[in-house]
């Protein structure tokens, strides 16, 4: 099977879930890079290029066993941290965010790409940083480049994100981000632009492939923690593209995995099933 290299971060997250007027708090792991890598690892080999804490916190110890985790060494205190409140219905508030050791990631220290089919550059603190990684990846022939983003970048660095989109092979964003990046009606006339995947919570996702457009419905679920749903969708989609699935079918499989994961805190659903799958294959 072909390899995917994910550039991004693992994080230590505090998740507050509000329901019926009360709030429950959970400590978990997360990060756009980590969610993407774990989802892809469900069916394909994956390398995660991310800051790697030494000593390894207990919460992240299993990740080191499941992924080929490469990256600059950092202290546990330097691991990125997020604090998020989920209000239900896909609505959330980011209370605090620290990018920590993300600045230690540099394109010239990227792992070798000779056995890599797709590099996914997850959301980083700046679009410029993502573009520098893209330029490095473009030096390697036959490597496709995928990117993710987030609302702050789209609305504050619109031109830079559009430049990333135009230069990519695959691009992942949510509906709010798409509204900030594209003019009304523009999505239906992208032509030969990159393959675009737009997620929209309980409404599922839409795939734009040239002049073709596919709507992917999401299963009805009991949402608990939608953190990382879009990144989970991204990782699973890319992995199944490398299994030679048509884009629509790859997105359908990915949508199922993402919706099942949001019924649990953090990536716990993926971790449990991935651990079982890898143990059975040993």
Res 188: pLDDT:
84
* Surface-to-core class of residue 18, CB atoms within 10 Å of its CB (0-12 exposed, 13-18 middle, 19+ buried): middle
Instruction: Indicate the angle between helix axes 247-261 and 32-41, nearest 10 degrees.
Output: 110
Please state, in angstroms and rounded to a whole number, the distance separating the CA atoms of residues 272 and 131. Answer: 34
Instruction: Give the count of domains, the chain.
Output: 1
CATH number of 261's domain: 3.40.1190.20
Mode of pairing for the β-strands spanning 116-121 and 3-7: parallel
Q: Which uninterrupted H or E stretch holds 234?
A: helix 229-241
| Single pTM value for the model | 0.97
| pLDDT 10s digits, 97-130 | 999 999 999 999 999 999 999 999 999 999 999 9
Render 64-76 in DSSP notation, one character per residue: HHHSEEE--EE-G
Domain that holds residue 170: 3-281
| pLDDT 10s digits, 257-279 | 999 999 999 999 999 999 998 88
Res 88: pLDDT:
85
Res 166: pLDDT:
95
Phi, psi for residue 151 in degrees, rounded to 5: -60, -40
Res 126: pLDDT:
96
Instruction: Indicate the angle between helix axes 268-281 and 247-261, nearest 10 degrees.
Output: 110
Mode of pairing for the β-strands spanning 22-30 and 11-19: antiparallel
Res 275: pLDDT:
92
Tens-binned pLDDT, residue by residue, of the chain (282 aa): 469 999 999 999 999 999 888 999 999 999 999 999 999 999 999 999 999 999 999 999 999 999 999 999 999 999 999 999 999 877 888 899 999 999 999 999 999 999 999 999 999 999 999 999 999 999 999 999 999 999 999 999 999 999 999 999 999 999 999 999 999 989 888 877 899 999 999 999 999 998 899 999 998 888 999 999 999 999 999 999 999 999 999 999 999 999 999 999 999 999 999 999 888 876
Res 282: pLDDT:
64
């Amino acid at each position: 099977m072909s390899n995917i290299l994910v550039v991004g971060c693992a994080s230590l997250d505090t998740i507050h879930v509000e329901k019926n007027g009360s709030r429950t708090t959970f400590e978990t792991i997360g990060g756009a890079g980590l969610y993407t890598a774990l989802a892809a690892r469900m069916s394909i080999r994956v390398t995660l290029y991310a800051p790697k804490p030494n000593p390894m916190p207990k919460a992240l110890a299993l990740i080191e066993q499941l992924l080929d985790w490469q990256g600059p060494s950092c202290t546990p205190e330097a691991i990125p941290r997020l604090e998020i409140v989920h209000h239900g219905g896909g609505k959330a508030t980011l209370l605090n965010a620290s990018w920590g050791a993300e600045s230690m990631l540099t394109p010239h220290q990227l792992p070798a790409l000779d056995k890599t089919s797709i590099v996914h550059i997850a959301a980083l603190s700046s679009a410029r940083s993502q573009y520098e990684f893209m330029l490095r990846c473009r030096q390697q022939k036959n490597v496709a480049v995928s990117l993710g983003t987030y609302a702050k970048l789209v609305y504050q660095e619109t031109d830079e994100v559009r430049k990333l989109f135009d230069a990519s092979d695959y691009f992942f964003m949510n509906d709010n981000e798409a509204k900030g990046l594209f003019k009304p009606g523009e999505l239906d006339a992208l032509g030969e632009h990159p393959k675009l995947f737009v997620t929209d919570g309980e409404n599922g996702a839409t795939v734009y492939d040239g002049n073709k457009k596919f709507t992917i419905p999401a299963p009805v679920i009991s949402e608990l923690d939608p953190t990382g749903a879009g990144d989970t969708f991204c990782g699973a989609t890319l992995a199944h593209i490398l299994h030679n699935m048509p884009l629509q079918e790859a997105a359908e499989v990915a949508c199922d995995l993402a919706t099942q994961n949001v019924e649990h805190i953090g990536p716990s659903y993926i971790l449990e099933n991935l651990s079982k799958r890898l143990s059975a294959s040993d």
